[in-house]
Chains A and B, each alone.
Chain A
Amino acid sequence: MSELVRSYENVERLNIKMSPRVLKDLAVLYSDPLDALRELIQNAVDAGARNISIRILDNGSTMVFEHDGAPIEGEDLEAFLTAGTDRKEKLSATGKKQIGFFGIGRFSFFHDSRRG
């Protein structure tokens, strides 16, 4: 599979605000690489998804995870760019409190549990 960024036209570079505790928390929370999948599921539920779909492409080298919950836009995108956001008081798209809590689950994709 080629690089996902196929074109650099109209590309905006956004910086993630990340506190040092994030990497420490990652080591505590995620021991299995597939835990990233669990994080996606929790995010989907928090976003009010009614269905979650997973597709495996390119002989297993690409995974597509889709849900029909609220898109990440506006304030949610701002929050997405801030690692370690305490979201316990924040309501989800459906008006319910969220399962996701520490705001670092999305980093689990890149966390190597062997490195700690």
Chain B
Amino acid sequence: MCISLVKYMTSGEITTLLKNHIPGDNDSLNAVYTALYSEIKAIAGHQLKSLNPGQTITPTVLANECYLKLAGLSELPPTDKRHFMRYLAKSMRRYLIDCLRQKHSAKRNVNRSYTGLSQFIGDDNIEFRLLDIDRLLDLIEEIDSQSAEILHYKLIFNFTYPEIAELMNLSERHVIRLWQQARALLLTLVNEQARDEH
């Protein structure tokens, strides 16, 4: 994992960015993403150093770390919090894809050390798969932003239903239902895409 030396932003700086960013304004949005991305990377590197041999890092843990670190953001009003989660999730996705790309370009030994993904998906390039899903997640955001939100919460942050319910200010039951619908939407899109490709 290459850890580049990056300026750490303080939580305050990110909050400011968020508060000040104008919806629809690409420049300020980009700034947010860049900041978050760097944060994620830094935290990831930091985490790894502290791990024992054999231990691993997962996106969930990483995301949680990020969230915790930028603890000042807990003071954010709920809607802003959700915005932040959204940006974080998106940044996380970028980060994951980049990690995967790096791994593929490095030399691998035959015994893949990561949890049998290749067993699950065959010898396909996992990176591409993730890219597809990534793209579809963007699509889903266009179709129904609530679905996209839930997918982020479950797939990347691995929040529990109560946590999501609190975040979104909905009943747990409602959250579960939305989650089912969101999954169905994603699966359907995956199938549609597969069909298109043939």
Co-complex (A, B):
no
B residues touching A (Cβ–Cβ < 8 Å)?
none
